[in-house]
Amino acid sequence: MTLRDWSDAKGETTLEADVVVVGSGPGGAAIARTLSEGGLRVLVLEEGPARPRFRPNLAHTQRFHMQENGAVVAQSLQSFVPIAAGRGVGGGSLINSAICWRTPDYVLEKWTKALGVPHFGPTPMSAIFDELEELLQIAETPEAIAGENNKIIVRGAKALGLPGGFLRRNTPHCSGCGLCNLGCPTGGKASVDRNLIPLARAAGAIVQGDVRIEELIFEHDAVVGVVGVVRHPETRVEVGRLTARAPKVVLSAGAIGTPRLIAQAGAAGRLGPAVGQGLHLHPGNAVVGLCDHDVTMWRGATQAAWFEDPDLPGVLPHTLQAEPGVVLMMFGKVGVEAKALMPLLPKMCGAVVMISDKGSGTVSARSDGRSAVTYDFAPNDVERIKAGMVRTADVLLAGGAREVTAPVRGMGLHRDSKSFAANLADKTIRDFGLYAAHPMATCRMGTDPETSVIGPDGQAHRASGLYIADASVFPTALGVNPQLTTMAVATVIGRQILG
């Protein structure tokens, strides 16, 4: 049996392998596949359910497939930012929008210079992107399933002469139902539980769901295993404890989960001062357009269009895909106000404005094991978000919207971007309805143990046998959606482990 759930790990269970991988999202799945196909005995441990439990319901998704029931929040004196992080075999790929950007060459060149190694350069990484894109069947979203919401962005960008178009996504059999973020109900999304995990299992890997790792086993300065609690996925009642031992342990629990685990295990001090530091989020806000025609923004391929303005580097607007309840929540409408807004919902279109942030934050663990996340905005980041929102207003108006607004206190409706910009100018971050789904860089890769947690080979500076392979290892923010980069970096680390 290569796929195990809570019922297979009742009581006291001990498992042994050549490598234990904690987490089965894009990073964990990619390194598990690489190591398994390389001939190692791999055990993958996942906190979430072993099998998908999808329903077209946000509360249900939060309960089963989001870390901490969807309540991960970065806090600061300036504001707070909700952060989406997935759980379950497949991790974040189960509930993301399936966007697959390659890492920009300028980012890879910066990493290569800082790390002093060639394997993260544009040329070697290009070959790995080619390999993964074939496995995940990544392709540009067809216009036939895009839906009007995405088409408005494409039309608007074209009308203004801006680079943009339909996004490349791992959705080979997409029907355009718009439910990617709640878990694909048709099997049209090639999340990693449908490709990389099955490849790992076919090569002998064992995948154990429903186990939350809470301890790292040290022998002197080496990590030789982990200990976790097995819980029933419905009741969350503890049904067992699992000990997994291996000469190599890989943490792939994500940029929130990995530093939280290290802190909860009491190992942050041993691994150095950089654990949980340097959090980047790609924070941003949305711009919503009101059209004269029906758009139905919650239908069509999820977040399948983008554009950029060369004068705004590091600002990446792409489609806002939101069901009616989410739109009402974004604008803080309840009761009579919500009822008044309901007839307008089918006429709305929208885009998310995401930035490659210069601000940073921290991740640690609370006494109850939940994550403690802080984040401080860089002043220029706020202005970059505003500039991106103004340009996005231009694009939505050029693409077919009659008026534009935003989930910002006191914005109102505007028929041109100059009026929109004037109203936005004096707003602070406290006025924004913020959101982030791309935590990264909290256990950075580098050469200095004082400012990074792992070396260019993926192994911890201060603990032999411990590796990290997820978005937490990125030396900088990416500026693009991180799913494909996470898989590629984990693949490189896996191949270095194999030698």
Nearest to 137 by CA among 197, 191, 201: 191
Token pair of 297 as six digits: 């923004």
DSSP-based three-state secondary structure for 391: helix
Residue 349 scores a pLDDT above 80: yes
- pLDDT attached to residue 325: 84
Query: Region 115-130: what's the mean pLDDT?
Result: 97
Q: State pLDDT tens for residues 86-109.
A: 999 999 999 999 999 999 999 999
Contact call for residues 309 and 417 (beta carbons, < 8 A): no
Confidence of residue 195 (pLDDT cuts 50, 70, 90): very high
| CATH code that applies to domain 3-67+87-138+185-276+443-498 | 3.50.50.60
Phi/psi at 198 (5° precision) = -60, -35
Domain boundaries, the chain: 3-67+87-138+185-276+443-498, 140-182+280-431
Outline where DSSP puts E strands in 25-65: 42-45
Question: What pLDDT score was predicted for residue 98?
Answer: 97
Share of the chain above pLDDT 70, in %: 100
Rounded Cα gap, residues 493 and 498, in angstroms: 9
Dist CA 359 CA 389 (whole Å): 18
> In this predicted structure, what is the pLDDT of residue 262?
98
pTM for the model: 0.96
388-434 pLDDT, tens digit per residue, is 999 999 999 999 999 999 999 999 999 999 999 999 999 998 899 88
What pLDDT does 474 receive? 98
Which range is least confidently modeled, 170-174, 244-248, 338-342? Answer: 338-342
Average pLDDT score over the chain: 95
Q: Residue 56: is its pLDDT beyond 90?
A: no
Beta carbons of 230 and 6 less than 8 angstroms apart: yes
Task: Write down the pLDDT at residue 336.
Answer: 84
Q: Give alpha helix (H) positions in 188-334.
A: 196-202, 254-264, 268-271, 324-330
Mean pLDDT in residue range 316-337: 86
- Half-sphere exposure for 312 (CA within 13 Å, toward CB): 26
Pick the more confident residue, 55 or 351: 351
User: Which pLDDT score, from 0 to 100, does residue 77 have?
Assistant: 67
Dihedral sign, Cα of residue 100, residue 325, residue 439, residue 379: positive
- Answer yes or no: are the C-beta atoms of 307 and 317 closer than 8 Å: yes
User: For 137-148, what is the mean pLDDT?
Assistant: 97
User: Nearest CA to 167 among 481, 398, 491, 492?
Assistant: 481
Of 457, 142, 121, the C-alpha closest to 305 is 142
Which of the two residues, 389 and 337, has the higher pLDDT score? 389
The confidence score (pLDDT) of residue 340 equals: 85
Q: Mean per-residue pLDDT for 116-123?
A: 96
CA 486, distance to chain mean position in Å, is 9
User: Is the predicted pLDDT of residue 227 greater than 90, yes or no?
Assistant: yes
| Residue 4 pLDDT level (bands cut at 50, 70, 90) | very high
